[in-house]
A and B are shown apart, each in its own frame.
Chain A
Amino acid sequence: MNSLAYLVTTVLFLAGFWVVLSQADLVKKVYGSGLMQGSVYFSLLLTDFRHSWSLAVVGIAVQAAVTAVAWILVHKLTSLYKTTDMNEIARLRRMGQ
């Protein structure tokens, strides 16, 4: 049971990492980093619910707040550039200079 939980966690964590690194789309990047952090809490809860539920509750709340700030900033940037693609944004910025 425990080793299966670790395996699932590691796969989810690495999948999130891969999404953040490989995708230029900001929305996907935010989801990817959420997946990375979420996988850690998921594994804590799966393997040791009794000792870690309170940590996970507080941690997920704080993570939600940080992610909310990230969404607001992404929304603001998207409204300025009309795209969610980071490479495109960098290209537009260089053109504007």
Chain B
Amino acid sequence: MTTSLILPALVLLPLLGAAAVLALRRKTEHALGTLVLAVTAVAFALGIRLAGLAARTEAVSWRLGSLFLSADRVTALLILVFSGLFVLIILFARGLIGHEVDEQFVPKYYAACLAMLSALLAAALAQDLFTMYLLLEVVTACAAVLVAAKGDKPAVEAAVRYIMVNMVCSALLLMGTAGVFRTTGCLLLADIARTLPAALEAHTLPVMASLALIVVGAAGKAALFPLHSWLPQAHGSAATPSSVVISGLLVKVNIVFLFKFFTQAVPADLLRWLPVRPILLVMSVGAIIGGSLMALKQTDIKRMLAYSTVAQVGYIFLGFSLMNETAVVGSLFHILNHAVVKGMLVLAAGSIMKLTGRRRIADFAGVGRRFPLPMVVFAVGSLSMVGIPPLSGFVSKWYLGMGALDAHQPLLIAVLLLSSLLNALYYLPVVIGAFFRSGSNIEQHLELTVGAQAAMVMLAVACILLGLFSSSVIGYIQPAVHRLFVGA
């Protein structure tokens, strides 16, 4: 175990950045954007350094009093996903955010972004159940600000619905956390793992109820089917960068919460005995099929992407609920893959919406010939979603499928194939229509900034590279995942 100051720096740096943005709120939007971009880029660079450190030792950690931060290879990967996606979101938003958000609100928007990044990184690093819960609360508050930032009726209504659902889920999560604390007497994940079996024997019902409350609370916050109702509205009416935050990061951090809790605080043999896995399995299959079917029915591009996120959350939970090494690697890879691919799809669709003022799927006919760059990026993302090799989407499906075979659940392969087919049915018509059908009088409403174009291209390149060099990412996290299954 190595101690490193990188861990507190990762948490404090964005927080200081948020304070600086608020202090400098009179500066121009462009200057603030540059500052925020620099802060997120430094966080990403620290993440790379941390990934290097984590590769050489079992865990990198840092402790101050009762605050305990620790990172293994999986955490390092998550930190790279969170900070890296934020760099590209800010790169896209800089220069465009003034068109979507009231000028006065821009500094607060950036501050909420950085505060959220800080909470996301801290939630990935924290090793104490109550701290993790509190960080999810901070994430929720920041996300509500980001959703409402547009300030029009649909955005504010979506933000209110979002925060209402999430406050209830938080309360359930808190009740579960308190229950675990009361029955085991500890909050550090490693301590809970030691005391939980005895606690379960002594107070079976309260412990089971607490675990159930934690699963329902976090699954609701992660928009796992059938608790996903808040997501499409929030995703559909928020500003484009906020939509990427919702589907790329907000949903993920709650999944990471559950993953950390069930891998680090619940011993593996106990987990096999609990009914958590079959319940999550049913919900995730429901999410994959239900989310895809609902996406098929949408006429609005952003709502279609939102329902697609519902389905992708199902993929991630599917791998975790299979609980074998291959499937968990697939799920972790899919967290990375979905952040990249959904990021590029939302940014591309959002740019088209801004460029043309259109958001109905039917109105996308012909836009590909007029605006090739965003539509090519959208096409690459769509193909990755369908799972065409060598793009990154194929790799996660491959590992999830192999994991299903390892778990002797071959029927799940059929679910994965059916979902690929459904993905093709709702993504490809958009792409085909955009390039091969002619659209009438497409006007250009604004100019895309170089940064926005660069962000989209970098995501597309990342999607292709992740597909080609998936083995190096998987080789990096595999030892840490292996330890989860053998170490227990």
Contacts and interface: CB of A to CB of B under 8 A. Distances in A.
Interface of A: 13, 16-17, 20, 26, 29-30, 33, 36-37, 40, 43-44, 47-48, 51-52, 55, 58-59, 62-63, 65-67, 69-70, 73-74, 76-77, 80-81, 86, 89-90, 93, 96
A71 to B, nearest CB: 10
Given A40-B175, A73-B144, A93 B157 contact: yes
Interface residues of B, number: 30
Contact of B167 (A33, A43, A44, A47): A33
Contact of A69 (B145, B154, B157, B168): B145
A79 B162 CA distance: 18
A18 B161 CA distance: 17
A65 B178 contact: no
12 contacts: A17-B171, A20-B164, A30-B164, A36-B168, A36-B171, A48-B182, A59-B130, A65-B138, A66-B163, A66-B167, A70-B160, A70-B167
B148 interface: yes
A16 B174 CA distance: 14
Given A65-B141, A66-B137, A69-B145, A33 B171 contact: yes
A70 B175 CA distance: 20
Interface of B: 130, 134, 137-138, 140-141, 144-145, 148, 151, 153-154, 156-157, 159-161, 163-164, 167-168, 170-171, 174-175, 178, 181-182, 185, 187
Per CB-CB distance, the 3 closest pairs between chain A and chain B, nearest first, are A36-B171, A33-B167, A69-B141
B164 A29 contact: yes
Contacts of A77: 156-157, 160
A8 to B, nearest CB: 14
B175 A13 contact: yes
Given A16-B171, A73-B144, A59 B134 contact: yes
Contacts of B138: 62, 65-66
The main secondary structure of chain B at its interface with chain A is: helix
Contacts of B170: 33, 37, 66
Contacts of A51: 185
B160 A55 contact: no
B70 to A, nearest CB: 20
Contacts of B185: 51
Given A36-B171, A73-B163, A66 B141 contact: yes
A58 B181 CA distance: 16
User: Which residue, A13, A63, A66, A86, has most C-beta atoms of chain B within 10 A?
Assistant: A66
Given A62-B134, A73-B148, A93-B154, 16 more contacts: A20-B164, A26-B160, A26-B164, A33-B164, A37-B167, A37-B171, A40-B174, A40-B175, A51-B185, A55-B187, A62-B138, A65-B138, A66-B138, A69-B141, A70-B144, A74-B160
Contact of A33 (B130, B154, B157, B168): B168
User: Which residue, B138, B145, B148, B175, has most C-beta atoms of chain A within 10 A?
Assistant: B175
A68 to B, nearest CB: 8
B156 A80 contact: yes
